[in-house]
Amino acid sequence: MVRESLPIPFTVVVPPFIIYEPVAGSAFYTGQPIRVGWDATTPADANIELSLDNGNTFETVASNIPSNIPFAVINGSATASGNCVIKIVDSNDPSSFALSQVFRIINAPVLSLISPGGGELLDNDSTYSITFSYSGELPENPLISFDFSADNGKNWNSLGLFPYDENQTAYQWKTPVTISDSCLVRISDYSFPFISDSSQSVFAIKEIPALEICMVSVDQGSSKNLVVWNRVDNDLIASYVVLKETNEANVYQEVGSVLKDSVTALVDPGSNPREKATRYKLSFRDSNGTLYGTGKLHQTIHLAINQGVGNIWNLFWTPYAGFPVISYNIYRGPEPGNMQLIGTVSGNFTSYTDLYAEPGIIYYMIEVINPNNCNPAGGKFAGYGSSISNIETNNTSGLEDKRLSANLSVYPNPATDKISIRSTEMIKGKTVLSVVNSIGKVIESVELEANDLSQGYSLDTEGLSPGLYTILLRGAEVAGSAKFIKSR
């Protein structure tokens, strides 16, 4: 006889809530908002609790959510965990609840803005790089959003989106034309906007002047390099700064500065034009002492000579750099203040052979016509229409005898109507005394007897215009120079 088994009774329990967000195994960044979604089997307001230890302990993160709104966005934990659980609890009955599947909260990646970080001064309507870094467990195919504010973060304008590539951490942007002292840049992950960073403080966008050297040359009065530029009307400039290339290529150091309202020309006191060609750049400082970027370089002409057969002389020079050179003019003469044009070569050449030099002491100089309009503000003289090289000679005593120059005196200085020129060094033979103005033009020359300078030679200066002048002395065995100022 077969006995039929009776069915075993069981109970169907309907949970008060069915949680469908977050799903099992999903991951969220620390600090990231987390959407929680559920269905309620019976009408009930809900509280949301979060556990970071697989349900052992919970913290309430939202309360009294109406029954007709079965979802909420909670603030993600700032602590990472791989054992996160959401509990939905009936607000009126703590024993009525449901648990989500386990999900993860992972450390958010760090997006850091490097520049502009604050305090910079950028040129308006110019291209710069926004630089940044992005590290950590990044989202898939991240997009970086860039925003700009000209009013310290009150309003933001989008600069664009940038597909992130770990090998490309810079974004090119063009600054606005409008100037402002209250600028900020903000960057963020487009899909996760809470991952963001911004400038630590405001930076400024202004119209930064572009400074360029007009020309470099050799100042015949001092036999030093001369740098000339035109004044720029801009309130940022407190002083102009001249930089010279060091012995290391493309490394420049300051050699002098000129106040904003001064003559925009500078003689480099440490230069030696007879030794080598020299490169210069021009910059400026603002009232806070900040040094700004430079324009293109200018390079002086350095001339060297050697003797061929007989009275043939070969000339070699470094090319001028800084403006286009159409041609070079070659000058020759028996003394530095008395040279004549003897030839011209194309700007593509840097050598010349003089086949017709007279025997004896001879001087050479190279000139290039300056195509720019050089007018240093505050200057008393024109004459910046050409750039000249050092003066080279076959005179073994050279262009300077420092012993004679050191023993030369000119007084009174500044001068009005007369000056007295005296040397304590005994000079043999006749000497030629030349007065040269600030642009190298010989104003007058006079031949002196051997003892004229030791007794003190009186020179009439009443007819000279106010300015800086150089006395050049040339003799058979000696040479020297001294400066004086004609005041009125």
pLDDT above 80 for 251: yes
Of 337 and 289, the one with more pLDDT: 289
Give the pLDDT mean for 455-483: 77
Q: Name the residue with higher pLDDT: 110 or 464.
A: 110
Instruction: Please tell me which of 4-8, 348-352, 379-383 the model is most confident about, judged by mean pLDDT.
Output: 348-352
* In this structure, CATH architecture of domain 110-206: Sandwich (2.60)
Query: Given 3.40.50.2300, 2.60.40.10, 3.10.450.50, 3.20.20.120, which CATH number is that of 211-396?
Result: 2.60.40.10
Q: Which CATH architecture has domain 402-486?
A: Sandwich (2.60)
CATH 2.60.40.10 location in the chain: 17-106, 211-396
pLDDT given for residue 430 in this prediction: 74
How high is the pLDDT of residue 398? 47
CATH 2.60.120.1440 assigned to 17-106: no
Percent residues over pLDDT 70 in the chain: 91
Banded model confidence at residue 414, pLDDT cuts 50, 70, 90: confident
3-state secondary structure (DSSP) of residue 214? strand
Cα(84)–Cα(27) distance, integer angstroms: 10
Q: How far apart are CA 277 and CA 272, in angstroms?
A: 9
Span 212-235, pLDDT tens digits: 999 999 987 788 999 999 988 888
Non-local CB neighbours of 143 within 8 Å, separated by 6+ positions = 161, 162, 163, 164, 189, 190, 191
| Burial class (CB within 10 angstroms; exposed 0-12, middle 13-18, buried 19+) of 236 | middle
Domain with CATH 2.60.40.730 in the chain: 110-206
Give pTM, 2 decimals: 0.57
**Mean pLDDT across the chain:** 88
Report how far residue 86's alpha carbon sits from residue 53's, in angstroms, rounded to the nearest whole number. 11
Mean pLDDT over 52-76 rounds to: 93
pLDDT digits (tens, 9 = 90+) for 143-163: 999 999 999 999 999 999 999
Determine the pLDDT at residue 406.
46
